[in-house]
Structure 1
Amino acid sequence: MAAWLPSARRRLRDLEVRPSVQHIGLVERVGDGVATISGLPLTRLDEMLLFEDGTPGLAVHVGESTVNCVLLGSGEGIVAGSRVHGTAEVFRVPVGEGLLGRVLDSTGQPLDDGPPIKAERHDPVDRPAPAIVDRDPVTRPLMTGLTVIDSMIPLGRGQRELIIGDRKTGKTAIAVDAIINQRASDLICIYAAVGQKTSAVSQVIEAVREYGAPERCIFVVGGADAPPGAQWITPYSACTMAEYFRDKGRDVLLVIDDLTHHAIIYRQLSLLLRRPPGREAYPGDVFYIHARLLERAANLSSDLGGSITALPIAETQAGNLTAYIPTNLISITDGQIYLEPKLFYEGQKPAVNVGMSVSRVGGQTQAPAIKRLAERLKLDYAQFLELEVFTRFGTMVDERTKARIEHGRRIRAILAQPEYRPLSVAEQVGLLLAVGERKLDDLPLDRVERFKAGLRDRLHESCPRACVHVDETGDISEPEQSDFLAAIDALLTELAPGQGAGG
């Protein structure tokens, strides 16, 4: 004590006292995740405010005498008269390699009971999209491992592809399979859950941990039990985390599940803030906020960084694609994957309606081998769908038409795929080659699943080098194609003796 006292007195004597200014306001009204504050005339739009209980807030409307604020926490300790501090800062979230493998909330706080986040820095959640001159065309493929998508609706790195369909038709399953398939690639995967149930989010996380590469994934969760403001900023926070890796030259897959809930949350907040409603009570800028968000997904020039591929999900009601939010998102994105309830209930999974799905920029990125084999497949499948509807009326058909219908059923069978089992490029090429060369037309339909199950091992046993080459390059040479066909014939001979080379 005797030694400490002189040094303490010396430090107090040398301490330079300066005046400081703090902007402190008071809460006038609070409830339902929003608050009205007075006494903060210098507050700027989108400034982060801090309530006396530690809850952060976001200033979304600045009036002459009051500020409307969205709470980013529960705000249970906030009442009328509570003090609020201005920070003169926009809202930021942590970014960096330390986020990989973690489950976070929309403010960047861990939800997985792990150690504190080690962030390299904190970046604003709302950032401008890259300029047009800073972008390159989408030329590199992003393989989902789903044959129906990679062959019919191919995706490229830097693309924005909407996954749309009714509730419980497999929208999230497609996105999760795309994440799982990146276990063999170099992509960083970020899953943003907006307004989803805790049980549904847990299933996604467990599936990725069991089948994928969780060490290269980030899960950003704004669950259904989170405050409305926290749900609202979830996709923006996830996009900011993705942009860190993009600026480092990495490629990122960003899944936003889903933007329909995001629009509903934004409508709720806007009505609570007494903004004028528009169509279906949505605020007038709901198109703008989604366009601004998705425009941040792009393929940057090679000297500026990598890419962000966005897979936003949207929910329809009774298959109505002409509703307000679905039409907005369809017009913003580079294509859509439409999941039809009728196909889902018939057992066709993934329930992708090929005729109503499109990829506007992914065709030029498609693996060469798949592109060649899928060209004829699309036409054959479209003709089959028309003929199948026609024959349901009991019309008599000739042998040629019967053959086309049987061939179409084999195409549909190879496009079906179980969940959490994405296929490599070589496996997809083998399936497309088998059906394209009509090797399966004489195989009983109930044995096609056995053929699909045995094809992977047969190809890797018979022609391992060809499989590696196809997986690495996406192309197949004539000798390799002959090796694939020989392996297919051998497998067919085992499944249906008497069939094979002549099939």
Structure 2
Amino acid sequence: MTDRSTDTDWLARSRAQLDRTDLGAEARAVGRVVQLADGIAHVSGLPSVSLGALLSVESGAFAFAHSLGAEEINAVLLDETASVAVGDQVSDTGEVLRVPVGAGFLGRIVDPLGRPLDGGAAPAPEDWLPVERPAPGIIERGLVSEPLETGVLVVDSLFALGRGQRELIVGDRATGKTALAVDAIIHQKHSDVVCVYVAVGQRATAIERVVAAVREHGAIERCIFVVGSASAAPGLQWIAPFAGMSMAEHFRDKGQDALIVIDDLTQHAATHRELALLTREPPGREAYPGDVFYLHARLLERAAKLSPELGGGSLTALPLAETDAGNLSAYIPTNLISITDGQIVLNTHLFSTNLRPAVDVGLSVSRVGGKAQAPALRKVSGRVRLDYAQFQELEMFTRFGGIQNARVKGQIARGERIRGLLTQPRFSGLRLVDQVALLAALADGVFDTVPVGRMAELRRRLPARLDSEAADAVAALAKSRALTDEARAALVAVVSRLAEEGREREAVAT
């Protein structure tokens, strides 16, 4: 009796469930891998797939549609080629490639898909954003007027960066491009800026040095490291800058300020060329495909300052590019210079003579300029670039013979002091008040009798002395960012006393 009633109830539930089930034919497009090599899968049988669509392989690997042909799709694998075989089924997920974003990624090292590389648990995402997002329109943008301080005197005083700007750092190999960008990241420990460092095709040891430097000297808890290393799949290297940009845009869209460093776009362009040649796209200049300019333009245009109606957040980009023998007219550097809002050029000769950061003042420029510079710094840095450029010209002529003119000798002596100030070791970022004090003292002639070799020691001792002897001026400048006559006099007096103490110690030693 009990068994029969149980069977009846089960049969009734089954019939009710069948009545609720929508039965019918279901069509699903399935493709197959027909050719596989070098991270590229040639897929047939998916005629309706869209460009950039996320594809799923039956082995569990993922790829995205890179180019569409009449008979086949060229898909770029996001996993190692060994996990895919010819004949595997491929299906369209119906989604575009997305990356997880959120505050949980701060302080973490992840790959371009958001998977952890630091041995920790996977971060909890707040949202998923497409790697390819449209740049803000003109109406959605605000004016770039707030400075992004790097702590590097030559940059902040001569080539001021604004929040929302795109400034290219370009130079030959091993001239300090990454060091300059990392110093800018480290200095943000004094600000509220969230930093994203993107490594494209870099060696694992170089990436480890960057992470170690930020961990030791900066605020790593406000940094994200997106790593597409040289050993990663080409597809991961290709999407790394776009994924890092989406992670940074999450904070910008919330009204915060973010900084992204892309190291470097020359390697990214080489990866793009490699994928284009493997997918049989027609080559252009230097074998790059014709869309390489659009590739980086659509990436860097996403860095912007948003209007107050959209929260007023900003995303500042510092892309890096490598030149060969200082050739700024090469294809990729020329493209990037035309896309960005200025460039900081690093010179091999300056680097070899131990003048670091090896910034070429004559070739570098910031097209935002003084509009985003703190008023106090703009007030004291007006003639520094002109005086330094004149000194460099005069220094060249002095190699051919002695200079007897007293005025010319004075210009050369002053230029040597400027160079001594602009030469700054790594991990020694200067506050705004430190920079203002040094440049004001330079303008007032305090350094005219200070030996160039003692400039570094004076700069190192200055911050503590300013805090103890000119606390009111330091607080006033930090609050208003403007320089009054009283504050200037107080700051210059501290620098003068430091210079005098140095002369006294030198006299005693001799």
Normalising by structure 1, we get a TM-score of: 0.96
The residue number in structure 1 matching 2:396 is 389
Two-structure CA RMSD over aligned residues (Å): 1.8
Q: Which moved more, 1:433-442 or 1:309-318?
A: 433-442
Q: How far 1:469 sits from its partner (Å)?
A: 2.6
Q: Take 2:105 and 2:128, find their aligned partners in 1: how far apart are those partners?
A: 12
Whether the 8 Å contact between 1:93 and 1:123 is mirrored in structure 2 is: yes
Indicate yes or no: 2:276 matched with 1:265: no
**Alpha carbons of 1:181 and 1:272: their partners in 2 closer, same or farther (altered >3 Å)?**
same
- The one of 277, 283, 290 equivalent to 2:296 is 290
Q: Take 2:307 and 2:30, find their aligned partners in 1: how far apart are those partners?
A: 45
- The one of 461, 466, 474 equivalent to 2:468 is 461
Normalising by structure 2, we get a TM-score of: 0.94
1:64-463 residue pairs with structure 2 within 5 A?
64-305=70-311, 306-463=313-470
Q: Take 1:23 and 1:412, find their aligned partners in 2: how far apart are those partners?
A: 66
Whether the 8 Å contact between 1:391 and 1:397 is mirrored in structure 2 is: no
Indicate yes or no: 2:60 matched with 1:54: yes
Q: Take 1:5 and 1:109, find their aligned partners in 2: how far apart are those partners?
A: 49
Q: Take 1:113 and 1:474, find their aligned partners in 2: how far apart are those partners?
A: 43
SS at the partner of 2:237?
helix
Q: Take 1:182 and 1:12, find their aligned partners in 2: how far apart are those partners?
A: 63
SS at the partner of 2:448?
coil
Q: How far 1:62 sits from its partner (Å)?
A: 1.9
Q: Take 1:471 and 1:5, find their aligned partners in 2: how far apart are those partners?
A: 81
Q: Take 1:424 and 1:37, find their aligned partners in 2: how far apart are those partners?
A: 56
**Alpha carbons of 1:214 and 1:84: their partners in 2 closer, same or farther (altered >3 Å)?**
same
Q: How far 1:65 sits from its partner (Å)?
A: 2.3
Q: How far 1:394 sits from its partner (Å)?
A: 1.5
Q: How far 1:360 sits from its partner (Å)?
A: 0.4
Whether the 8 Å contact between 2:55 and 2:93 is mirrored in structure 1 is: yes
Q: Take 2:340 and 2:357, find their aligned partners in 1: how far apart are those partners?
A: 21
**Alpha carbons of 1:12 and 1:42: their partners in 2 closer, same or farther (altered >3 Å)?**
farther
Q: Which moved more, 1:407-416 or 1:443-452?
A: 443-452
Whether the 8 Å contact between 2:34 and 2:41 is mirrored in structure 1 is: yes
Indicate yes or no: 2:489 matched with 1:482: yes
What percentage of aligned pairs have identical amino acids? Answer: 51
Whether the 8 Å contact between 1:34 and 1:272 is mirrored in structure 2 is: yes
Q: Which moved more, 1:188-197 or 1:477-486?
A: 477-486
Whether the 8 Å contact between 1:259 and 1:314 is mirrored in structure 2 is: yes
Q: Which moved more, 1:20-29 or 1:216-225?
A: 20-29
Q: Take 1:465 and 1:10, find their aligned partners in 2: how far apart are those partners?
A: 85
Q: How far 1:12 sits from its partner (Å)?
A: 5.6
Kindly provide the amino acid, as one letter, of the partner of residue 349 in structure 2: K
Q: How far 1:445 sits from its partner (Å)?
A: 1.8
Return 5+ residue gaps in structure 1 as ranges: none
Kindly provide the amino acid, as one letter, of the partner of residue 309 in structure 1: T
Whether the 8 Å contact between 2:38 and 2:81 is mirrored in structure 1 is: no
Return 5+ residue gaps in structure 2 as ranges: none
